[in-house]
Chain A
């Protein structure tokens, strides 16, 4: 069975500081991995995805993520956060026509 763990429920960072959101997955084969962002009352927007190839993937809004097979991780990073990055972030693993999501990490930005 596939599963995703996001160990941090809530993270607070200062505007301009760097960010890393953690994601660990369990999947029996080569995983398809995704990071989505959700603003309050909105749907999900894809930030980036990993299917194969280069393990460092670039996404929108200045985000990147690194796939580490040995650690079963796909952590999301951003060098300098902006107040508009405040939202909930979901890591997901794909397979068998469905996405399995983590429980999400709520990001708060302080001035």
Chain B
């Protein structure tokens, strides 16, 4: 069974640009969550999607957005990039049902560098 796939693995962007990251969850998983990991702030929750609906959102500015498609694949978008957006962005998928009593499987992440 394939794991969570995130593309691309590495990305370099310039300040002011926008970027789209992709996450393909494990087959059959309907919940996808996104996390930002930085040395200073650690792992922080961005948002969670279930059946194409955003169920929860972390404390990030509106420049960060996401969506989920009918096949459960998810994308997150960051507009007007800032240097502080440089981070490892991790995606996690869960099967379904109550979100917390099932294991979250993480992808390897997308390393975004903003220059």
A111 interface hit (Cβ, 8 Å): no
B45 close to A43 (CB less than 8 A): no
A44 close to B90 (CB less than 8 A): yes
A contact residues around B4 at 8 Å (CB)? 43
Chain A contributes a number of interface residues (CB within 8 A of B) equal to 24
Choose from A46, A98, A103 the contact partner of B45 (Cβ within 8 Å). Answer: A98
Choose from B44, B90, B103, B108 the contact partner of A49 (Cβ within 8 Å). Answer: B103
A contact residues around B50 at 8 Å (CB)? 97
A42 interface hit (Cβ, 8 Å): yes
The dominant DSSP class at the B interface is strand
Choose from A32, A43, A94, A103 the contact partner of B90 (Cβ within 8 Å). Answer: A43
B106 close to A97 (CB less than 8 A): no
B33 interface hit (Cβ, 8 Å): yes
A contact residues around B33 at 8 Å (CB)? 97-99
B75 interface hit (Cβ, 8 Å): no
A44-B100 contact, Cβ under 8 Å, with A96-B56, A97-B56, A101-B43: no
Size category, B interface: 20 to 34
A98 close to B58 (CB less than 8 A): yes
Most buried by A among B35, B58, B100: B100
Q: A43-B107, A44-B106, A46-B104 are in contact. List 19 more A-B contacts (CB 8 A).
A: A34-B104, A41-B111, A43-B90, A45-B106, A46-B103, A46-B105, A49-B103, A51-B100, A95-B100, A97-B31, A97-B50, A97-B55, A97-B100, A99-B43, A99-B45, A99-B104, A101-B43, A101-B44, A103-B42
